[in-house]
Structures are given as C-alpha cells and as structure tokens.
Chain A
Amino acid sequence: MNEAKSTIMERLRQALASEDAGEGRRRAVDARLARHEPVLVPARARVEGEARIALFTEMAEAVQTEVQRLDSFAEIATATARYLRRHNLPQKLVAAPDPLLDAAGWEKQPLLRVRRGNANPEDAVGMTLAFAGIAETGTLMLVSAPERPVMLAFLPETCIVVLPLSRLDGCYEESWARLRQQASQPPRAVNFVTGPSRTADIANTLTLGAHGPRRLFVLLVPDPEAQGPEPEGDA
C-alpha cells in the first residue's frame, strides 16, 4: 500500500510546504527529537526524601492503592503473608523471576507457596518489581523484561508491587530519563499503573476490578544492595 502512503504524504507536503519548503522544517524536527528536557513539571512533583515518600503514599492511597513501608527487603515475604491473611486470600502467589526478589525472605514464610514465572489465568495473586514510582500521582512504572513479564500485574485479581525506595522519582520525566540511561530503545511494554483497575461504565458507579486487579498493594522497601552484608539464608 505504498500508493496510499505517497498520496497521504503528498497531500500533507502540499498543505505544509508553503510554510517552509526548505531544510528548516527537517532541522526543527531533528532538534525536537534529540531533546529530552521535561516540558513543564508541576511544582508538586519537586519534592525530595521523606516528603516524596509521603506524597507518593498520599496520592496512591487516594486511588485505593494500599501502601506499606518495610525496614528491609527481607521482610517482603512476611508482609505479603500478612496481607493475604488480612484479605482472606490463599497463601499462594506467582512472583516475577527477577533475581532481586530472591532476597524477599521467602524462607521465613514456609507456608507461603511461591512460584516464579509469568501469571496464568488461574493465579489469584501476582507479584512484580517496579522500575520506578512516581510521587506526583502515586503511579508505578513497570518495565517489561524476560524476568518481569507484564501479565503479573494484569491477570491476577490481586497485584503486589515491590518498589525499592531509591527508585521513587518525583515526576514521570525523571523515570524516563533513568530508563533512557539503561536502554536506547524502550522495551516492549512500559506500564504506568495508578491504583487498581476500575470502571464507571455501569450507571456512573465506581467499581474496582474491571479487567485488571481488584487490589493493588505496594511495598516500599530499602534497596537490597544498600543494606550491607546480610546473613545469607540457604534459599
């Protein structure tokens, strides 16, 4: 269908050429594409440290995300087991095969059955690791990779996301800048998640759990690498 493309392009060029037919337009486009400065970041997002954590928590809770802060990475398993008990859910989950989650303290919860891999339609609880948190709107940024499949955050009714505190940014642009440093091209999927799935399509009544998770639980944790030498478990 190259004929279609050339027709559309020809129409556009004819309409736009009068504005500047020369290289000026091309240069303007190149310059724009090479520039990655934020356009305008709301003042609200320019917070640091504890204030940033407080803003993230406030914004996330305002959209029905449950947030819990832990003292160490190794408490993740215990906090998860408690959360599942509190919501009357079975002690069973599927977690991202990301090696960082190896240090979640699974050995402390022998009754918690954990499978590492992608979510199946039967899985009730999925756990993954966030690439970033964004305080401005209480948003999680999930970045797909072989060790972090996307469906963990969409198929199960309950989604648990681990967010290392060093990855908590003020605004979306900071998170994109970090991702650009790691990869020149975005991975297949970058999901920005702000609360559990919802709909108001039935008589304008807000209802959670439309297609994605009904519950979203965020664990704010210190970085495992920042904790210094931990006594190794045998896991």
Chain B
Amino acid sequence: MSGATPVGFRDRAREALADPTLREALLSIRRGWPHARARAIARLPEFDALRDHGRAIKDHVLAHLDLYLERFERAVTASGGSVHWARDAAEARRLVLEICKRAGARTVTKSKSMIAEEIDLNAWLEAHGIVPVETDLGEYIIQLAGQRPSHLVGPAVHMTREEITELFARHHGTPPSERAEELVAEARRVLRQRYLEADVGITGANFLIAESGSVITVTNEGNAELTHGLPRTQIVVASIEKIVPTMEEAFTLLRLLARSATGQEFSTYTTVVTGPRRAEDLDGPEAFHVVLLDNGRSGMIGGTLRSMLRCIRCGACLNHCPVYLAVGGHAYGSVYVGPMGAVLSPVLYGIETARALPEASSFCGRCEEVCPVRIPLPALLRYWREEAWRRQLAPPAARWGMRLWRHLALRPGLYRIASGVVARVLGLLAGRRGALRRLPLAGGWTGSRDLPAPEGATFTSLYRKGVR
C-alpha cells in the first residue's frame, strides 16, 4: 500500500483541490449517497427511534465488552471454529500468516475488510509468498492501482471509468472495455477463476454475534459469500468492538446500516456464518478462524473516545462532510478517512503524526447529525485538538496567536479596545472599496476572495449607544 501517513495532509489537500478529475468524482458522491439516504429515511418513520436503540445496544456492549468477548469465543469454539487474539497489527498479521501457511496457501481471496487494511495485510502476505486477491470490485480496482481505499463503502469512488478502463486493459491484457457493464463482466470473469483457485478466504465482519459465535458480512456483490464458501479455510479478521449480543440486536443495527450508507432498504447480501461446514454439507470451509484485533481500542474504552467504538462504518459522515467532499479520502493519508477517520487515526498513528486530521473540520456538525449511532464526532475532534494543545504540538505561531487571543478574551475591556482598533484600522486600509485584497497572515482567505472590512463601530459600542 502507499506509505502515506496523516503528516502530509495539508500538501495533499492542496493537490486534491487542484485535481479536476477528483472534483468530478467527489461531486458524484455529493449528488448520490446523501440524497439516497434522505429518501430511504423518509420511507421509514422509525429511523430516529432505531438510532436511539442502535446507540443503546452499542453502549451496552462496550460497557460489558470483556464478558461478551468471552461468550463469543466460547460460542465460536462450540461451533467448531477457533478464535485468535491480537494486541496489535503485527500480531494479527503473524496469526493470519500462520493459518495460511498451515493451510498450505498459495493464493487467498479477500472480501473487503477495513481491518485487513488497518493491519496492511496484503503487503505482508505478498512479502511471504502468498498472493492476496481482493474481490470487492472497488477493492480489486485499487489493489491493481496500488492505492488505498478512499471511502469506507466505495473504495474506488475517486477513480473515473476511463481510468478503470485503462487499468483493466493493462492488467488483464484484454482489449479495453468501455461501458460499466463490460468492465464489471470482465472483472467477474477474471475473479471467478481466482475464487476457484484460492486456498484460503479472508473476510472482515460487520458484526460478531456473542450468543452464537456467528459472523455477519454485508455486501452488494456477493463476493463475501464466494470468499467464505469456496476455499477450504476461512479466516475472519475483526476488531473487538464489532460484538453484538443477539441476532435481534444485530438486525436493528442492520436496519440502520444500509440506509445510512447507500440509501438502500437493505444491502443485497447479508450473510450470517457460524463455524465450519457441517458433516453432511455440500459446501463451506473445513476450518473457521476468527482473528480478534485490539490495536488501541481497549485504551479507548475507559475515556472520552469510547463512543467512537459505536461506529458501524456506514460512511454517512464522509458523504456529508464538507472537508471530505472537498479533498477526498487520500488526502487524509490514513486507512480511515473523513470525520470518523479524523477521530480514529490519532489512536492508530499517534496524535503527533495525525494532528492535522482533527484540525480539518469546520465543526459544522453534519457528521453528528447523520451518524446512525449518534457519535458526537465534533466533540471527539475537539478532544483531539485539546490533546494536541496540551502536548504542545501546534507550531509556535499558532500557539502565540492562541495565547494572545486568550489573553484578550479573558479581559473584556481590553478586548473591546483591541477589537475597536482593529476594526478602525481595517476600515482605513480598505478605503472606499470597503474590502481588502490582501492582508498579512490572512493569505488563506484573500488568496481567492476579498475580505470585507468592518463597517464603522463594533457591536458592543453600538449596543451601548442603544442602536438595536
């Protein structure tokens, strides 16, 4: 995968803003998913009540996570599968590789998994002589292109049809297909063969069910089912917060998931798998493994960030975020992007590395408004900003500016005098135009538009004079 980290966010954001192809792709998200979501919700009057239930289910699980994880492990074992525990990405990679080696695997098929992205599994498998094949069409496209997903639900939303045509022609050695149907048919043909050859199938999990040790996958393509149904060994990689007590509770969350993500009433395929194939079954894997990943999550349970673990990865906060829709996913330099990514990335990469991401927010609050499990995303972004401040990570100029402002804000008399002076100076500088074309320290604003100068007096002085 690309070795980008959140550090270069500003530069990549600037590049993204100047990329006309990306603008077009992001515009198509803006025109599509948010509207589809709004229509789906309009058809379901209970949607808001379901959100409350969804939040309560996840909060209950998180408050009892240790106990539910034990129950889940016991149930998986009872169904003939095994559970493996990984404290961090490196441990998870080693566990997956061990299972693959024991299965004598040469190729593995993979169904879209953010956890596999988080632990950078493909590069690791390749380095150990095992060929990973992504089967979700979007993931397959970015695997061929050597990129990271730029969206939780549509990993390749940033690519145009022309780019995909060129990519397929180069990798498949076939005459270029132009229409979307032809491209899909071509990928179907190529990947069908890969499914049949694969020794191991690796999937993620949308939910893990504690009562039965089941794993739920959600797709529209049917690739998860071919990934866990055809090879001899199935591996599920999932993070510990994916647990839900019972089937009934999982289906409450599923009613929220597709509507929030793509505006579908229900995703095309929701599959519940429990253990390996039964004695007389004609298909299914002979071995069933679940790798449970912590990777910093147990550290979130005890503090402010706990509510982030409610996330069901629908992508609604991305689709409604003015920052994400302006710069796209790759600018973030992280596996997780958009508002949810800006909260999670500092956990995974450290706030020192990921400081720019929680800064990239206008606090408009739409992410929280659309979140199906009501995660207070702006508050969590603010938490990281405060954390960065406490650790003195901001550049000196920003820190001095902030100190100066604080000094004034705590002294109303001084603040009034200072703001009155600034207003008059700006008014003088602007002259009769009433606007400034350039202003030191405000290049970000004046680079693309004029700054209107304050007109006359400040609010407080007008108020005192009785101007209402």
- Asked whether A and B interact, the reply is yes
- Are B268 and A194 interface neighbours, CB within 8 A? yes
- Are B137 and A15 interface neighbours, CB within 8 A? no
What chain B residues lie within 8 Å of A194 (beta carbons)? Answer: 264-270
- Are A202 and B66 interface neighbours, CB within 8 A? no
In the bound complex, CA of A13 to CA of B102 (Å)? 33
Min CB distance, B253 to chain A, in Å? 9
Known: A188-B275, A188-B276, A188-B281. A36 touches B137 (CB 8 A): no
- Are B71 and A29 interface neighbours, CB within 8 A? yes
- Are A212 and B63 interface neighbours, CB within 8 A? no
Q: List which A135-149 residues lie within 8 A (CB) of chain B.
A: 137-139, 144-146, 149
CB 8 Å contact bits of B392-432 with A (1 = contact, 0 = none): 00000000000000000000000000000000000000000
Known: A4-B91, A28-B64, A186-B272. A146 touches B301 (CB 8 A): no
In the bound complex, CA of A197 to CA of B135 (Å)? 13
Q: List which A191-230 residues lie within 8 A (CB) of chain B.
A: 191-205, 207, 209-213
Of A32, A63, A121, A195, the contact of B196 (CB 8 Å cutoff) = A121
A88 on the B face (CB < 8 A): no
Of B46, B192, B210, B284, the contact of A188 (CB 8 Å cutoff) = B284
- Are A145 and B298 interface neighbours, CB within 8 A? no
Of A14, A198, A212, the contact of B225 (CB 8 Å cutoff) = A212
- Are A173 and B248 interface neighbours, CB within 8 A? yes
Q: List which B243-296 residues lie within 8 A (CB) of chain A.
A: 245-249, 251-252, 254-255, 262, 264-278, 280-284, 292, 294
B67 on the A face (CB < 8 A): yes
- Are B220 and A198 interface neighbours, CB within 8 A? yes
Known: A33-B245, A43-B46. A204 touches B272 (CB 8 A): no
- Are A33 and B210 interface neighbours, CB within 8 A? yes
- Are A29 and B32 interface neighbours, CB within 8 A? no
CB 8 Å contact bits of A141-168 with B (1 = contact, 0 = none): 0001110011100110000000000000
- Are A40 and B265 interface neighbours, CB within 8 A? no
A49 on the B face (CB < 8 A): no
B188 on the A face (CB < 8 A): yes
- Are A191 and B225 interface neighbours, CB within 8 A? yes
Of A63, A118, A197, A204, the contact of B283 (CB 8 Å cutoff) = A118
Of A59, A187, A211, the contact of B226 (CB 8 Å cutoff) = A211
B345 on the A face (CB < 8 A): no
Min CB distance, B93 to chain A, in Å? 13
Total contacting residues, chain A, CB less than 8 A? 76
What chain A residues lie within 8 Å of B85 (beta carbons)? Answer: 1-2, 4-5, 8
Known: A42-B46, A197-B220. A150 touches B225 (CB 8 A): yes
CB 8 Å contact bits of A27-38 with B (1 = contact, 0 = none): 011001101111
Of A176, A192, A207, the contact of B270 (CB 8 Å cutoff) = A192
What chain B residues lie within 8 Å of A200 (beta carbons)? Answer: 154, 220, 262
Min CB distance, A96 to chain B, in Å? 10
In the bound complex, CA of A39 to CA of B269 (Å)? 22
In the bound complex, CA of A12 to CA of B306 (Å)? 12
What chain B residues lie within 8 Å of A185 (beta carbons)? Answer: 78-79, 212, 274
Write the residues of chain B forming the contact surface with A, with a CB cutoff of 8 angstroms. Answer: 28-29, 32, 44-46, 49-50, 53, 57, 60, 63-71, 78-79, 84-87, 91, 95, 135-138, 141, 154-157, 159-161, 164, 180-181, 183-185, 187-188, 191-192, 196, 210-212, 214, 220-223, 225-226, 228-230, 240, 245-249, 251-252, 254-255, 262, 264-278, 280-284, 292, 294, 298-299, 301-302
Top 5 closest pairs, chain A to chain B, by CB? A212-B222, A15-B302, A210-B221, A146-B280, A11-B298
Further contacts, 15 of them, CB under 8 A, given A198-B221, A205-B180: A8-B69, A28-B60, A36-B248, A39-B248, A42-B255, A137-B266, A185-B274, A189-B225, A189-B273, A190-B273, A199-B184, A203-B180, A207-B181, A207-B184, A210-B187
Write the residues of chain A forming the contact surface with B, with a CB cutoff of 8 angstroms. Answer: 1-2, 4-5, 7-9, 11-16, 19, 25-26, 28-29, 32-33, 35-40, 42-44, 59, 62-63, 117-118, 121, 137-139, 144-146, 149-151, 154-155, 172-173, 176, 185-205, 207, 209-213
